[in-house]
Structure 1
Amino acid sequence: MKSVTAIAMIMLAICATFAAVPLCDASSPDVRLCEVNAFGSDEGVSLHNYGLSDADLKGYTVTDNPSKTSNEGSISFSQSLVIRPGETLTFVKERVEGSYFLSNHTSYCNGESGVTVSSDFALKNTGDDIYLFKGGTVVDCFLYGNVTKPSVYDWNGQTFTVKDGFVAVRNNPDQASAMAWSNMKEGMIHEPFDPDRQFDATVSPFLMPETGGIPIYDELSNAASSVILSMYILSSDNAIALLADLAKRGVDIQVLMPKNLPDFDPLNDGGKLKYLSESGADIRLITGDGRYALVHSKCCIIDGETVIVMSENWTKDNLNGKKVDDPSKGEGNRGWGAIVRSTDYAEYLTGLFQKDFDTAYGDVLRYEDETAGKPSKTLTYVAPKDTVELESYSAKVTPVMSPDSSYEGIMHYISNAEKRVFSEQQSIGSNIADAEYISPVTGMCQAKKTGADVRLLVSTNANVGNIKDVESMGIETGILPQPYLHNKGIVCDDTTLVGSVNWTWNSINNNRETMVAIHSKDVADFFASSFLSDYDRSTGSDLSVYFSEPPADCREGEKITVTVDTIQSGSFTYTWKLDGEEMHSTIKRVIIEASVGEHTVSVTVKDSSDREATISGSFRVSESSAIPDSMEGLLVYIAPVLVVLIGIAAVMVRIRGGRRG
């Protein structure tokens, strides 16, 4: 790494304060809030027993005010009501026919089994705070929307955003924070993170852009019965052509993609996906106003036994079919991928996919219906000329999905790491970089406290302010200049997380994302080696500039072009100075015509985050009649030769003259 942020020993003490904070101590009750329905006539809450023994709800109270003596409403229990280990009970003011909230668990209304839901118990749509009391002590809370953080209980970070038509569902009982909750509705399968859910597998890791997507073409070419694809962007002509060929051979092809994207429109891609649809593939588009904000997965299931999980979209550059040894020379992004051979894991993901693929929930459209009457574009598959041989390793794999379990899974593996945490992230959200949040970054701090080697690499597009916040917590952070870092991978000791989950609020809480935790030292070492190589080529968070066209010597009357570039991307302003004379510009290139003599040109580059860097260079302008510098050295060598040649010529003249006489 060219520039590493200096980390003082005091940072270790700062990191110690960011360790994952438990919700309650060991003596705290095991009953917690686990669901909140803030909209509709069936508004209410659910309680779950996370303990190992029965719990009696008598003596508990749910209020929407941190003070039990307030005039706001409450749910109370006047007689014994036992909630068993692992059981969830739901409490509402009234039942509503067909309610999704009431369909999942045993429910109670006002007056049933000693349950009292006061008439003034109401949850505001714009935001409210809900508290669970045992006796006179607050043991849990949930904050959403526009509400002030209370002083009576330690809620971590900003409030949760509950979406209309959704139920807020808890994923992590050990934290009181927005990150520990997600929005669920009918048609979504809630699968909390379970570190003990491990499937036997054989795993072949690979890198992008080094492999050029060749392993993907190899696996697809061998498909015999089915291909299931959940993909954010599918735009590679060659990949689409191969899928079309498979469909024509009778392979069942199912593709799920988001409908509305800012940088790709699947309905207007020049007819490529239309050709795939006409070839027999079942393509469906999911809207962003239903169950998920985005389907952002990069996942493929082949023949019910092989799963490809990766960080990269199936675009022309990423799946270019060219093998390269130097990643900075490749056409695609920096990304990680894994071919996972496991029928159990494939079956698990297939179940989730088919639920997402279902049109019954109003947010999935059939591609053929949306493109009726549009022309198609015939494509021809061209097999890559290069070959890639992958190593395979025995492993266990654990599913990690958004919005259900990605936060808990990522936090689990990072916070428990003892030797190393290496992470490559395209972007870091402001709440992830906030020291007040229990987040993957504060989890890295916890791992650092235990002595683990902790490092983070981000892309050139990552928010500078957020990078600075991460660095201030003592995490060594670098920026990878080339190739563009689109990765979302993490190595935690001997476990590697590969997939599509970005470290942003939307990716963790609102999107459908697919990630896999691979438990294998060999696989972890493979990706760790790549990470360390990338880290050695990275820069610090300071703005880095260089002359892509440096100032060059010239002759009087000639013009020279000087161009400056940055390692980072973004918008910049340029302050050029020639011999002290200043000029401001938004253009990175200047054309200079200067007088005879020595000159100095400098440029100060400033970005939108007020980072700035200055670079300077000198050049000389010679008189137009003067011999250029490039000729001066040549004359030093030519002059003696000329003297010899002149001498030989003189002798020859004398000889010729003598012969004439």
Structure 2
Amino acid sequence: MSPRVAVCCLLLVASLAVPVPVAASDAGTPTIVAVYPNPTTDGDAGEFVTVSFPAGTDLGSCALADDESRVALPNRTVSGSVTVSTAPNRTRELADTPVISGALPSLANAGEDLALLCGGVVVDAASYRNAPEGDVYREGAWRPLGRTAFDVRSVTDANATVFALPDAPETVIETLRGADERLLLGGYTFTSERVAAELAAADARGVAVHVLVEGGPVGGVSAREARLLDGLVANGVSVTVLDGPNARYPFHHAKYAVVDESVLVTSENWKPSGVGGHGTRGWGAVVRNASLADALAAVHRADAGWVDGVPWRTYRTNATFQPPDPSNATYPSAFAPLTIDVDDVSLVVSPDNSRRALLTFVRDANESLLVEQMGIGTDTELLNATLDAAARGVRVRVLVSGAWYARDENAALVETLNDRARRDGLDLRAKLASPRGRYGTLHVKGAVADGERVLVGSVNWNENAVNRNRETELVLCDRAVGAYYTRLFQADWRGGVWTLPVLVALVALCALVGASWYVRREIVFETADAAVGWQP
């Protein structure tokens, strides 16, 4: 492995972690581990406190106290972590420790100074303020109850296929069609007839098929999605919807599949205009590696297996569905998929680890940074890091969607970035995408750094996607992959790809030269980007 690739690998290497366990105190001292003061239920029913004890501790000798009262713990012997709840039947489905019934201090939502006493002596304390609804206080911070804590997972020398949409939708179908043992699909919306047919066929041949989708997408679940999911469930496919008052994420916005020992990650939804190739510009990658597949399968299992995972039949009982919005446009296939052994691939998951991973990606750019996004939050760390990269001399290009629903906001962003570049003399340019018939709208959430590191996945560059949604992203470190996506970025930056027969091109060139000689004048381009050739 080259020194450059070794450095690339070190950027994101980490081991896969399971949801954060409650651990006993190393010193054997009773410890307050977690406080849940503001449940989503009426009257805060189901408040709890998790405490860790040495083996054989008599709880009756301990108490929890605040400024107003001291409440003795139940008289029983425990070892390790235990959760004391005012509504144990409700808490058992939320906690990952044994749950016992017991009274608690008031646990005020506005704030509390809580003390744990054993033998009349304070052995630990926890203070919190302004408890968000549904969040648990653990290790000095609030986080939604049940949220996972996966680390970045990295592998080396993995075989991968990288592809563009709408150019290569068959890559998606062929990958799903190859499933022999497991097919785990995670998505935001699901309206693709072709994908549904592949899932049903996989189930019929004995593959374990599980589908996980968002229960409250913007605009609602369509009648078409309801029909397809009804059909899958009728054929025996497991379909889970993330929804309800205990939902851990504002949106399950990930777009991925685990297919046996491979992972498929894209920027596009499971619908005709997305993975079907009938609309959006997207980036995707298939990586064949058992370790990476197991890591993503663990994310799928954690998301589908908690209380906010609702069976489709239960969800649809009280759901209403919206009219479908079919898409059947066709586009040329200018970019063929590339299959290659990739030096390093990392799986990044929001909200668990993407903030640090994406900031590292941008901050480690030394020469060039090509950013292609549906949009970028105007007050985000990622945008600030991108500006910082330009300020330290990195060549930065930012391409954002010009679609009607994002045009005004993105045009303002482009103007701001270009004004900043002119004011500070930065090698930074930004523009709105102009598809010119190559695709419908730009939906990419990607970037290329230094021509060798590439982001592919569902993470929009805004605070919600990075810090709150469930998202999945791959970081591929490889010069060939970087060259592939750089070429794709160049084409989108120019506004399409033109291919002319050699003879026609020569005739056109001669005519241009002749005309130039005849009028004896120079052709002046308004900007360097309008010139023939690529100047990143």
Fold match by TM threshold 0.5: yes
Quote the residue 1:527 is aligned against.
Answer: 485
CA contact (8 A) 2:156 2:342 kept: no
1:244 equivalent to 2:200? Answer yes
Q: Which amino acid aligns with 1:481?
A: S
Quote the residue 1:258 is aligned against.
Answer: 214
Closer, same or farther: CA 486–117 of 1 in aligned 2, 3 Å:
same
CA contact (8 A) 1:287 1:294 kept: no
3-state SS of the aligned residue for 1:392? strand
1:124 equivalent to 2:141? Answer no
Q: Which amino acid aligns with 2:214?
A: P
1:333 equivalent to 2:280? Answer yes
3-state SS of the aligned residue for 1:441? helix
3-state SS of the aligned residue for 2:385? helix
Q: Which amino acid aligns with 1:366?
A: P
* Separation in 2, partners of 1:486, 1:300: 19
CA contact (8 A) 2:160 2:288 kept: yes
Q: Which amino acid aligns with 1:403?
A: P
* Separation in 1, partners of 2:160, 2:338: 10
1:165 equivalent to 2:134? Answer yes
Quote the residue 1:345 is aligned against.
Answer: 292
RMSD of aligned Cα (Å): 3.9
Offset at residue 111 of structure 1 (A): 5.4
- Aligned pairs for 1:80-91 (under 5 A) are none
Quote the residue 2:181 is aligned against.
Answer: 225
3-state SS of the aligned residue for 1:215? helix
- Percent identity over paired residues: 24
Q: Which amino acid aligns with 2:379?
A: N
3-state SS of the aligned residue for 1:247? helix
Closer, same or farther: CA 509–169 of 1 in aligned 2, 3 Å:
farther
1:368 equivalent to 2:313? Answer yes
2:162 to 186, 197, 205: 205
CA contact (8 A) 2:157 2:341 kept: no
Offset at residue 362 of structure 1 (A): 2.5
* Separation in 1, partners of 2:341, 2:196: 30
1:479 equivalent to 2:438? Answer no
Quote the residue 2:517 is aligned against.
Answer: none
- Aligned pairs for 1:136-151 (under 5 A) are none
Quote the residue 1:78 is aligned against.
Answer: none
Offset at residue 263 of structure 1 (A): 3.2
CA contact (8 A) 1:38 1:123 kept: no
1:449 equivalent to 2:391? Answer yes
Closer, same or farther: CA 337–268 of 1 in aligned 2, 3 Å:
closer
Quote the residue 1:496 is aligned against.
Answer: 454
* Separation in 1, partners of 2:137, 2:468: 12
* Separation in 1, partners of 2:342, 2:371: 23
Offset at residue 403 of structure 1 (A): 0.8
* Separation in 2, partners of 1:103, 1:281: 31
Quote the residue 2:27 is aligned against.
Answer: none
Closer, same or farther: CA 185–450 of 1 in aligned 2, 3 Å:
same
Closer, same or farther: CA 225–111 of 1 in aligned 2, 3 Å:
closer
1:392 equivalent to 2:366? Answer no
Quote the residue 2:359 is aligned against.
Answer: 411
CA contact (8 A) 1:267 1:371 kept: no
Q: Which amino acid aligns with 2:309?
A: V
3-state SS of the aligned residue for 2:129? coil
Which protein has the larger Cα radius of gyration, Structure 1 or Structure 2?
1
Quote the residue 2:474 is aligned against.
Answer: 516
CA contact (8 A) 1:286 1:363 kept: yes
* Separation in 1, partners of 2:265, 2:181: 19
1:183 to 143, 166, 171: 143
1:506 equivalent to 2:464? Answer yes
* Separation in 2, partners of 1:249, 1:393: 30
* Separation in 2, partners of 1:430, 1:372: 40
- Aligned pairs for 1:532-611 (under 5 A) are 532-537=490-495
3-state SS of the aligned residue for 1:489? strand
3-state SS of the aligned residue for 1:391? strand
Offset at residue 419 of structure 1 (A): 1.6
Quote the residue 2:41 is aligned against.
Answer: none
1:316 equivalent to 2:258? Answer no
Quote the residue 2:518 is aligned against.
Answer: none
Equivalent residues, number: 381
3-state SS of the aligned residue for 2:483? helix
Where in structure 1 are there 5+ consecutive unaligned residues?
A: 1-34, 46-72, 74-89, 126-162, 174-180, 322-330, 375-385, 433-438, 539-661
Quote the residue 1:355 is aligned against.
Answer: 302
- Aligned pairs for 1:94-113 (under 5 A) are 109-110=115-116
* Separation in 1, partners of 2:253, 2:359: 20
* Separation in 2, partners of 1:391, 1:477: 31
CA contact (8 A) 2:414 2:432 kept: no
Query: What is the CA deviation profile of residues 377-401 of structure 1, one whole-angstrom value per residue up to 9, with x for unaligned ones?
Result: xxxxxxxxx9965332323111211
CA contact (8 A) 1:423 1:491 kept: yes
Closer, same or farther: CA 335–37 of 1 in aligned 2, 3 Å:
farther
CA contact (8 A) 1:203 1:395 kept: no
Quote the residue 2:350 is aligned against.
Answer: 402
Query: What is the CA deviation profile of residues 154-177 of structure 1, one whole-angstrom value per residue up to 9, with x for unaligned ones?
Result: xxxxxxxxx31213679xx9xxxx
* Separation in 1, partners of 2:371, 2:142: 24
3-state SS of the aligned residue for 2:232? helix
Offset at residue 370 of structure 1 (A): 4.1
CA contact (8 A) 1:207 1:336 kept: yes
Quote the residue 2:505 is aligned against.
Answer: none
CA contact (8 A) 1:37 1:166 kept: no
CA contact (8 A) 2:377 2:383 kept: no
* Separation in 1, partners of 2:471, 2:220: 18
Closer, same or farther: CA 42–247 of 1 in aligned 2, 3 Å:
closer
Where in structure 2 are there 5+ consecutive unaligned residues?
A: 1-32, 39-46, 52-66, 68-80, 99-113, 320-332, 422-427, 497-536
* Separation in 2, partners of 1:288, 1:450: 46
Query: What is the CA deviation profile of residues 335-372 of structure 1, one whole-angstrom value per residue up to 9, with x for unaligned ones?
Result: 100011110000011111101111xx321111134457
CA contact (8 A) 1:225 1:251 kept: yes
